[in-house]
Structure 1
Amino acid sequence: MRRRLINSTLAVVLVVIAVFGVSLVIVETRTISSSAQERVDSEAMRLASIVDSRLISQEHISGAILRDQVATARYARIDIPGRAPIEIGKRPTGDVISATSPGEQGERVTVQEPRAAVTREVGRTLLIIAAVALLAIVAAVLLAVRQANRLASPLTDLAETAERLGSGDSRPRHKRYGVPELDRVADVLDASADRIGRMLTAERRLAADASHQLRTPLTALSMRLEEITVTDELDTVKEEATIALAQVERLTDVVERLLTNSRDPRTGSAVAFDLDEVIKQQLEEWRPAYRSAGRAIVSSGKRHLEAVGTPGAVAQVLAALIENSLMHGGGTVALRTRVTGNQAVIEVTDEGPGVPPDLGARIFERTISGRNSTGIGLAVARDLAEADGGRLEMLQTKPPIFGLFLSRTPLSKNETAAEKTVR
């Protein structure tokens, strides 16, 4: 590309120089020739005037007297009636420029100049024009190289950026080149990098959330299936199978919820539901795990509370809190329900050491964990709560108390869950 830019610029300059250079040479040649002819004509007229004045004054006229009136390179011949011709200078040979001027006393003055002098002057002019043209060509080449580098280097840089973007590096470069068209391309590439980066982040987040959220229902389902395999009682098999089917339905709901949130986290199916049913379901699912750990899980507080939200999402939030207490807490885990204003609150607490002071409010940030865990459970739980128009907060660090706040008033048709959260 650099070579093409340099060649095209040089071609344009050469064409311009050829057109204007030839025209300038023709004009200058004619101008020099005309000037030389005018000088000779002027000298012939001036010499004739001098001869007239001397003839009228009856002064002596000779070549020695008039020699100073004729330029060195010129030849002059003065023809006076009745006298011998007077010649001044050496008569030129070859091509000459000649001018003849008659006098008032009948004399005739002829001035000649060799055309070689004009040719030399034309040659000097051509040399000057050629030197200027050469300087113009050198300047054009330097300018073309500079302009080619200015255009080609950014294009190479943009190609590398596009290649880097295609290989998965979605970091925008925010580099500009001072050329509006190239800067526009850079803007588009940076915007594409931002979009791709957000998409990749969303995909990674979805994968991490799915891995974390599916682990709990799969574990619960596995426990139910183990109960079925170790018992011979038909009633127990039916009971455990019914619970396993419920776990499968919940697993399906978790998958749908994750996919829905990945497309639009504000999309939900908030309805009024009984909190007791969700809490009872969680107690049944988690009691086997707590018994295996030698711990207990209980519930207390106000009964028959109705809240507005998505039962599956609320169940996932409670499951994240219960699992967090199982992994990081100690003693008995208690789920307490209460009412504050127009909100129903579910508190989850345990008898463990609590949240370390260095974590504090960062406990809900992704990758923040007190032990060797994924650190995304509480972050996902808070996102699910906010998508339903509720909120998840840490009310106390020691002993740890987490509170899930849900509205008790159904949302209007024109009010989204996100708007309810902001309000």
Structure 2
Amino acid sequence: MRARLTLLVGATTVLVLLAFLVPLALLVRQVAEDRAMSRADDVLRTVVPLAGSGDRDAIRLAVTAQSVPVSVFFPDGSVLGHETDPSPAVRLSAARGEALTVAVDDDREIVVPVVGASGTAVVSTVVSDDDLRHGVGRAWFTLTGLGLVLVLLSLLVADRLARAITAPITELSAVSHRLARAELTVRASPSGPAELREVAGALNHLADRIQVLLSAERERVADLSHRVRTPLTALRLETESLRDPEEAARVSAATDEVARAVTALIQQARRRDEPAGPPHCDAAAVVRDRVAFWAVLAEDTGRALTQEIPPGPLPVAVAPDELGAALDALLGNVFAHTPDGTAFEVRLAAAPAGAVLTVTDEGPGFTLEVARRGVSAVGSTGLGLDIARQVATTFDVGARPGGGASVRLQLAAPPT
């Protein structure tokens, strides 16, 4: 935009200068021609009275004193002054007795007849093209230089004005990109024209509104999560009344896990708008921990569990609680939507762009409609797959070879 504004002002300036300088250049040339012709006319006015008197000595002295070539042609064929043959204009002037100005190539010839006692004499002078153009080239060069200077000045002023207009637009664009990166505390500084100041104010108002809505949403989520603690407390008390110690320990551990998840949800909901740094975790450690948790329930329900998890650290750009919640959602779907005894697999493998997490089962599978957010066939919220989708760069839902469901998550590598 800045370049276009500068180009527009430059083009407008050039057109204005052409409309002004071209007529001025033509006028300069015409003035130079008129000046040269006027000087020649003054010379002729000096010589003509002497030619009429017939005093050849006075005529010879007058024509030799002039700065331009002057010739006086007498009726007897003699010539005083500039020796040259009589031109057609001289002969025509002598015959008609009329003063003439004719063009000879690029020169101008002025002839004036003088009627005397012995006949008609003709006074002639030639104004050369150099005299007609004297000073024109220098004047045109000066006008051209002046035009170039004016164009450069106009471009400089236009660039300054364009910068004053585009700088606020660039700042607004930068602020909008930072808002898109969840930097909700950034604000635009109203500057520039009134329209841009109004846009900056509207953008700041939008940022304030987004921040208020997000804060309210976090508080609602935190409040809802906090309410879950009451039934969890009651459930923990119920586990203490179980007679089987192993069963009580298993149910208590599951209750504690749910309590930790609720606490993490509250902390995440009330997290500051600007995180301390990009999220990252060891995917192998998180997946291994969550699979170990679900392995107990898989054993109780007679489900064969196959797991392939690399031993070494496998860093990914996902927070550990988010990756754990995503895997819990996928494994929870396996237990909720397949009958007891259904085998399932959890595979984690390194990839050039991070890691790939795959969860498959030998159940009845599901249609792609079930994979949409908020869709469930068993009365749940339908958000399980969406929780997993949020941590993945690519999310593929399909059928397992031989029957069953398959969910594949591509996890991004942390930034270097």
Which TM-score band (shorter chain)?
0.3 to 0.5
User: With structure 2 as the length reference, what TM-score do the two structures score?
Assistant: 0.43
